[in-house]
Amino acid sequence: MLEISISDESNRYELTELAKMFVPVEELDLFAQSPEAFCVPDAASADRNAQKRALYRFLSEKTGRELDWGILTGVRPLKLFYAAVRRTGSPDAAEKLMASEYLLSRCKAELLRNTWDTQQTLKVSADSRATGLYIGIPFCPTRCLYCSFTSNKYSADKADAYLKALRKEIDAVAGMMEDRGLFAESVYIGGGTPTSLSEAQFEELVCTVSDAFRRPETAEFTAECGRPDTITAVKLKTLKNAGAGRISINPQSMQQKTLDRIGRQHTPEEIIEAFGLARRSGIEQINMDLIAGLPGEDREDFRDTLDKICALGPENVTVHTLAVKKGSRLIEQDKDYSYRQGDAVKEMVEDAAAILGGRGYAPYYLYRQKHMTGNLENVGYCLPGTASVYNVRIMQEDQTILALGAGGVSKLYYPAEDRIERVANVSNYEIYIDRIDEMIRRKEAAL
């Protein structure tokens, strides 16, 4: 048991989160009273980062571990890099500041710098009326072992009822935007797995979204196609005809044993077939999601997956580090998975950066989550000129993002204060249906 005394309530949450990155919470006594306990300096004698550095060094000495992301516990480290650039006047100085102020490893400080460099080439709208749109479909064919998202097994009747309520919210939000002179810079249909809908339901959804929000100023229209076993030529044609220029096909792994283990009902061959369908549909950009650290996979399995994905040539590859979260079946089976697999997953993430970098991909956005294996990160890689506007905007929090559907959390941006105000829809899709008028009123009041 590690004995630590945290007396500063104003910084207690972040200090606690940092401690949990080293060892499970049951191995910590964070309010120890014994004279042997390590006392975190009070804010009166040290700033918050100094407190975290002191705790980090104590925990590192006791556990023999170092964290690549140092004292950072937040989701969006790139926002701190942007702030460091403004503070120091140059990205080179910002890179050094991130290493000294936050104890980042050299590789993570470089990752932030390289991601920043890529984002400088991305053209985003300077118009204050530009917004992002997210539309959530909370249905999947099956629930994956690691999943903790708002997702439900698809049935036609349930989806019909949900789409009826969603259509009402879409119409209402389109009217609100028109009244206020707002337009959608990007539109993103996510989930769940939107393509788990029937072809007819999917066509109704996509055409409704396109008619409501796509304008000449809209730079990007993305749809998550997710599971390859839900992708058909008809659905792809629907997307192409509706103006979608980007889709995501998410194999997660190209190993059959892994797909079976995590509850996927498709094969690697079906992934390749779905990718070919997408290419032939004429959709310009394809993203593919992979997960490093899936149960039972070793470094060679992951490298093999990377090689097979690179051979297909998608414009974007997003490499997720497995996050073992509450609500997933995996955490019920092995609550300490993320601690035990950290070193192995770190090698996988490093391999991804090297292999993708060698193929001409550059990091263009990144974010972190709680309970990530090895306290690592998720990184989106892109070929030149193919970075996703929506992904960059949602992580930078420099634009209003309106989120529709069950579980959607809208983020209203106030540039004068550099502040975000959140407006949430309920997560349960049945409650969402019953309370759809309330969800609409919430957005009306907030806007």
Is-contact 427 406, C-beta < 8 A? Answer: yes
Which amino acid, residue 201? Q
Give tens-digit pLDDT for 75-114. Answer: 999 999 999 999 999 999 999 999 999 999 999 999 999 9
Report whether the peptide linkage leading into residue 342 is cis, meaning its omega lies within 30 degrees of zero: no
Nearest CA-CA partner of 312 in 388, 230, 234, 254: 254
pLDDT at res. 146? 54
Main-chain dihedrals φ then ψ at residue 382, nearest 5 degrees: -140, 150
Nearest CA-CA partner of 366 in 74, 21, 65: 74
Q: What is the pTM of this model?
A: 0.94
Give the chain's residues under pLDDT 70. Answer: 43-46, 143-151, 325-340
Q: Where are the domains of the chain?
A: 1-66, 68-120, 130-404
Cα(61)–Cα(428) distance, rounded to whole angstroms?
44
pLDDT at res. 43? 66
User: CATH number of the domain at 130-404, please?
Assistant: 3.80.30.20
pLDDT at res. 48? 85
pLDDT at res. 72? 96
pLDDT at res. 143? 63
pLDDT at res. 153? 83
Length of the chain: 447
pLDDT at res. 322? 92
Cα(424)–Cα(407) distance, rounded to whole angstroms?
7
Q: Which residues pair with 128 in a beta bridge?
A: none
Cα(93)–Cα(73) distance, rounded to whole angstroms?
22
pLDDT at res. 323? 85
